[in-house]
Amino acid sequence: MVSSARFERACREAEATFGVPVLPLALPLPEAGGEGVAGLVDVVEERALVWRDAEGSELAIEPVPGALREATRAARERLAEAVADVDEVFLEAWLEGDVSPDLFRRAIRRATLLRRIVPALGGSAYRNRGVQPLLDAVVAYLPSPEDRGAIVSLDGATRRPPTDAAPLAALAFKVVHDRYGALTFVRVYAGVLREGQRVWCSREGRELRVGRLVRLFADRREPLEAARAGEIAGLVGGELRTGDTLADPAHPLTLEALAELEPAVERAIRPAKAKDGDALGKALRRLLVEDPSLRVREDAETGELLLAGMGELHLEIAARHLEEDHAVRVSLGRPKVAYRETVQRSVEHEVKLKKQTGGPGQYAHVVVRLGPAASGAGLLFENRTTQGVIPKELVPAIEKGLREGMASGPLGFPLVDLEVALLGGSFHPNDSHDRDFQRVAATAVAEACREAGPVLLEPWVDLEVSVPSDALGDLLGDLARRRARVVGMEAEGERTRVAAEAPLAELFGYAGELAGLSHGRGQHAHRPRAYEPVPEALVAAALRAA
């Protein structure tokens, strides 16, 4: 359970992040004579919520202890002043001294929906303390589907109201595998999702039949005939993936899915027992469906399987899932930076495949322009051929071949951020097939990238470090040695928080080294930022280390 001091600090940090007041709806209630937390003080109703057992199942409502009355009153007044700015009815009642808890809650909800305040609650999910007030606050203060308004398609062309009468629009946002098989978590934004219903799947571009639906209560499932707008349901079986849109076949649309970030760290992954090689392959395929931010590739030189993710902890959690959920124990190698490649300049390149010896032949011919694209763009493909040069039915095979060619660049790493335009080519009415154009497109990427000057990219992160102020000089010197760029500093009492951008390659083992220079009092966190070119002087060493 979060302590009073830590809770206040977390609220201040969140306020700096959101740029609006972060106001506690409940304050931590310290245990008598101890450092732990016995419960919460409800600011709105001015009462104490005390948990009497270790499991957090026995809740008692008591008066606010005398030591916390002043803090509770101050928090309540600050909350009231903030919501009064957006609710005249509440303001009048507040000035007259006649504010009921229901009126207070309605005003808090209005201010929250207008993004004038951010309500804050503390607790411990592990000890089951504060969970009940949190769930009540979700219902009381956060927007319902009707408050959010119409859901908009990814291309912005379609708006669908959040009602049962609207055509279906649902998003698969999570996939898990357990002893019963695959289970997909689906959020219904519009319409009704029913068992046996035929739906259009955005990724497949075709119709699928909905299998068995269940309502989820932790690890318990109950049969469900239909999920309505605003509800979440479990879809048993099937081959859906995270990010798939399910829609009415007569009114298809694609919803925005979770962004897929490029992995930053790779580790070799091996089964603990050699006989589990096949089982590991199957488990990894399921894991990639569950978590699209993971990647698996084979090292071209060693033949090892490499598992890539957002960080060391991400990969350790994935390894634990393989053991606990898929019954495959694995060992992970040392962390390595997940380098990527792009190119320096644009080039035009031509590739032709011609095998015609009298029988069924092979013919494919493409002319492409390949060059660098903006960071994070992936592949930007454009067909600039005039009608009849290459049949439109063959163009998807060309794009598929381009993506296959990006799996490994001239330096041995996946390619990113390329802009490829199909300028021309030719085909044979009898001897040209999808596989032929797919093959020459992959070859075109490999050859054109060598001509365009490959560039090695490394992942950078946004880094936040907090240290006692007397360790600030040592910290800044250490960050400089790690090629970090300091972008901001903020004093927090006797500590200083430093914001920086740093190459991930320089941060392996950083927690231990930070503990050394701060005498165990430093804290840090980082999150993915972008890929940047490796300095030319460091490229050779990076390639050797990879």
The pLDDT value given to residue 190: 95
CA max distance for the chain: 97
Whether the predicted pLDDT of 20 surpasses 70? yes
Collect all residues with Cβ–Cβ distance below 8 Å to 159 and sequence separation of at least 6: 150, 151, 152, 153
CATH 2.40.30.10 assigned to domain 159-247? The reply is: yes
Q: Is 299 buried (19+), middle (13-18) or exposed (0-12) by CB count in 10 A?
A: middle
pTM over 0.75: no
> What is the per-residue pLDDT across 436-457, written as a single tens digit (0 to 9) for each?
999 999 999 999 999 999 999 9
- Cβ contact 41:50 at 8 Å: no
pLDDT band, very low/low/confident/very high, at 476 (cuts 50, 70, 90): very high
Beta strands in 240-361 (DSSP E): 245-247, 265-271, 295-298, 305-309, 330-332, 336-337, 340-343, 347-355
Could you write out the three-class secondary structure of 208-256?
EECCCEEEEECCEEEEECEEECCCEEEEECCCCCCCCEEECCCCCCCCC
* pLDDT > 70: percent of the chain: 97
Class of domain 456-545 as given by CATH: alpha beta
- CATH topology for the 265-338 domain: Alpha-Beta Plaits (3.30.70)
Q: What are 472-476's contacts with CB under 8 Å, separation 24+? A: 472/496, 472/498, 474/517, 474/518, 475/514, 475/517, 475/518, 475/522
What DSSP state is assigned to residue 408?
Answer: S
The pLDDT value given to residue 263: 83
Higher pLDDT pick, 36 / 420:
420
The pLDDT value given to residue 36: 65
The pLDDT value given to residue 301: 62
Q: Is 100 buried (19+), middle (13-18) or exposed (0-12) by CB count in 10 A?
A: exposed
pLDDT (average), residues 306-332:
90
The pLDDT value given to residue 166: 95
Whether the predicted pLDDT of 1 surpasses 50? no
Q: Compute the distance between CA of residue 339 and CA of residue 531 in angstroms, rounded to an integer.
A: 9
> What is the per-residue pLDDT across 417-433, written as a single tens digit (0 to 9) for each?
999 999 999 999 889 99
Q: How is the chain split into domains, by residue range?
A: 4-141, 159-247, 265-338, 342-452, 456-545
Strands 118-120 and 22-24, how do they pair? parallel
Angular region, 149: left φ>0, alpha ψ -120 to 50, beta rest: left
- CATH topology for the 4-141 domain: Rossmann fold (3.40.50)
pLDDT (average), residues 378-400:
92
pLDDT band, very low/low/confident/very high, at 35 (cuts 50, 70, 90): low
- CATH topology for the 342-452 domain: Ribosomal Protein S5; domain 2 (3.30.230)
Higher pLDDT pick, 532 / 358:
532
> What is the per-residue pLDDT across 173-183, written as a single tens digit (0 to 9) for each?
988 887 777 89
> What is the per-residue pLDDT across 236-282, written as a single tens digit (0 to 9) for each?
987 888 899 999 999 999 999 877 777 888 889 999 998 888 999 99
At 425, which helix (H) or strand (E)?
strand 418-426
Q: Compute the distance between CA of residue 152 and CA of residue 171 in angstroms, rounded to an integer.
A: 12
Higher pLDDT pick, 475 / 265:
475
The per-residue pLDDT of the chain, averaged, comes to 89
Are 265-338 and 456-545 in the same CATH fold? yes
Whether the predicted pLDDT of 343 surpasses 50? yes
Whether the predicted pLDDT of 299 surpasses 80? no
Q: How many residues does the chain have?
A: 546
